[in-house]
Amino acid sequence: MAQLIHLKSFTDARGSLNVIQDQLPFAVKRVYYMYGVPPNTQRGGHKHKKSRQALICLSGSCTIYNHDGVSETQFVLDNPAKILIVEPSDWHIMYDFSENATLLVLASTKYDVHDYIDTPYPNSSLPT
């Protein structure tokens, strides 16, 4: 089941600093990010066999729809101090990207096309 982690922010007159150290339940093997996502575009739409992921919206905002096979949840990532941990069994789509959104993803595995399960859950409440 996906879980939201809130990082401690260190803020003063120079700005804010967030540290990701010992908060992730996995070692990071791959880092990638999405930006310039056109309006009304969805990303994702899959789950994984092995890979765990940490999603962080560094700027702007986006929404993550998640279905773990039992329940569905929507998470709004609108602060870089929020990290959404997505488990392999969590089918997820990213959508509603703001104009200036940058979504950073930290993954527990290197890219493997065979790790992706693209069959969506039959569910009428998926965002469109």
What is the per-residue pLDDT across 76-121, written as a single tens digit (0 to 9) for each? 999 999 999 999 999 999 999 999 999 999 999 999 999 999 887 6
Q: Which residues contact 24 (CB under 8 A, 6 or more apart)?
A: 54, 83, 85, 106
DSSP class of residue 38 equals P
**How many residues belong to the chain?**
128
Handedness of CA 120, 98, 78, 23 (dihedral sign): positive
- The answer to whether 57 and 29 have CB atoms below 8 angstroms apart is no
Q: What are phi and psi of 113, to 5 degrees?
A: -55, -25
Rg of the chain on CA atoms, in Å: 15
Catalytic residues: 46
What is the per-residue pLDDT across 32-58, written as a single tens digit (0 to 9) for each? 999 999 999 999 999 999 999 999 999
Q: What is the CATH number of domain 3-7+25-109?
A: 2.60.120.10
